[in-house]
Amino acid sequence: MIRSSAFAAGLALAALPAIAQAQAFQCALPQRVTVPEVRSEAPRRLPVTGYTLALSWAPEYCRFREDSRRDARQCSGESGRFGFVVHGLWPDSGRSWPQWCGGSDMPAIELRKNLCVSPDARLIARQWEKHGTCMARRPSTYLKVTRILYNGLQWPDFVRISREDDLTAGTIRTRFADANPGWFPEAVGVVLDERGWLEELRLCYDKRFMPEACDRRRFGARNDKAAKIWRGL
């Protein structure tokens, strides 16, 4: 479970100067929210050794999904335009992920607070049930820590980066680390699809929510792997 010292460390990250408060280019919160039902699976209760903040690159995810009803909030443009959005905050346990630990129901008012951070109510509800229940007693705590970590990040211009010659996964790591005091490239996982398009960043934290080097399964593409970034604008 999240301890007060770890939570304080997250607050310290959020106190860094010149912080971008959101990665959404634009975002409008809905007036009313319904919490989707999530079917739980078999629990996997393991000791927590660290955390991963998984950030999806929305322009790539939304390519060919602009007319998808399932993805309308994120991809239609009617609720906003998004850059990096939170896929999930995951507790880690070395070689595996703690999952489905069981917890309290999520109030709609709490889910709504994260819809500019992660513009998919189904995803938020599932991430709480699957991952959050293994690191916090209440969904409000899990969602608040997610917002603190996310809003404590500074974002380099990924549209500009997408135009760099000979772009690689290592370039993406370096550009992100250079923009964020305390971060270093080895703590930034980069997930590319089979054609080399950027899908996700996976930021690796220790138990105190401070950056740590990613292990092999979270590090993703090698530094010399050629990369492309879909701008979607």
User: Mean pLDDT for each 10-residue chunk of the chain (233 residues)?
Assistant: 52 39 66 93 95 96 89 87 94 91 94 95 97 96 97 94 97 98 98 98 97 96 98 76
pTM score: 0.88
CA 205 vs. chain centroid, Å, equals: 12
97 is written with which tokens?
């992920």
